Amino acid sequence: MLKEIILVTIGGCIGFVSSFGTLMASSWLEKRGKLKVYSRFVYSKLRNNESWGFHHSDSNTIYFDIPLWVEIQNTSKETKVIRDFCIILYYKGKRIAKMIQINKFVEEGKEVYYGNNGGYSFIADPRSIKRYECQFSIKKESFEGDSDFDEIKLRYFDECDNEKIFHLKFVKDCWNICSFKIDDDWNLLC
């Protein structure tokens, strides 16, 4: 009788370890794959099809505008989150301002939304790829102190609230009215 109890206990332990190992391997396989974010500077629907750069408004206010296409590719089998997708401006390596995420504009009497229906947080479904049109803007007057910047970086938070920052472009001649060249192809950020 004691032998049978010992054999049943050993069999149960082997079954438990085997089940646990299978569960861990399955979880590991589902996490395999990556989240890739691509960007592309494009022409702006908001600013009469001008490219990104420094522009005057009707009231002679100077704006810095960035129309950006973003593709988010998730090659894993689990859902990924991108929260608070935005552009940060830097001067000599120091963060100086966050650009405004434009939610919508009116075109021919109809509201057109940027980002994810006006939001800048995205859910990347398993094994998916989605494209979003984004628009970022900032007024020269909105800066406190010096408004010069020399670098543009993209920032977001992942599903674990880890901050992810990626270089986009360097900028020369800050606040001189001009438009810059759009991207010919997609740029892989991560």
Q: Tell me the per-residue pLDDT of 13-35, one tens digit each, with 9 for 90 and over.
A: 666 666 665 565 555 545 557 89
Residues in the chain: 190
How far does Cα 22 stand from its chain's mean position?
A: 34
Predicted local distance difference test score (pLDDT) of residue 16 = 64
Q: Are both 3 and 60 inside the same structural domain?
A: no
Question: Domain tally for the chain?
Answer: 2
List all residues 6 or more positions away from 186 whose beta carbon is below 8 Å from its beta carbon: 38, 39, 40, 71
Whether residues 137 and 164 fall in one domain: yes
Do the beta carbons of residue 10 and residue 3 sit within 8 Å?
no
Model-wide pTM > 0.85: no
Give the C-alpha separation, 55 to 60, whole Å.
Answer: 9
Assess whether 80 and 154 both reside in one domain: yes
Contact 31, 76 (CB under 8 A): yes
* β-pair partners for 128: 74
DSSP-derived 3-state class of residue 93: coil
Give the range of the structural domain holding residue 64, as residue numbers without chain letter.
Answer: 33-188
| Alpha helices per DSSP H over the chain | 2-31
Q: What does each of the 190 residues of the chain score in pLDDT, given as a tens digit?
A: 777 777 667 766 666 666 665 565 555 545 557 899 999 999 988 777 889 999 987 778 899 999 999 999 999 999 999 999 999 999 999 999 999 999 998 888 889 899 999 999 999 999 999 999 999 999 999 887 788 999 999 999 998 999 999 999 999 889 999 999 999 999 998 7
Same domain, 86 and 4: no
98 and 157 inside one domain:
yes
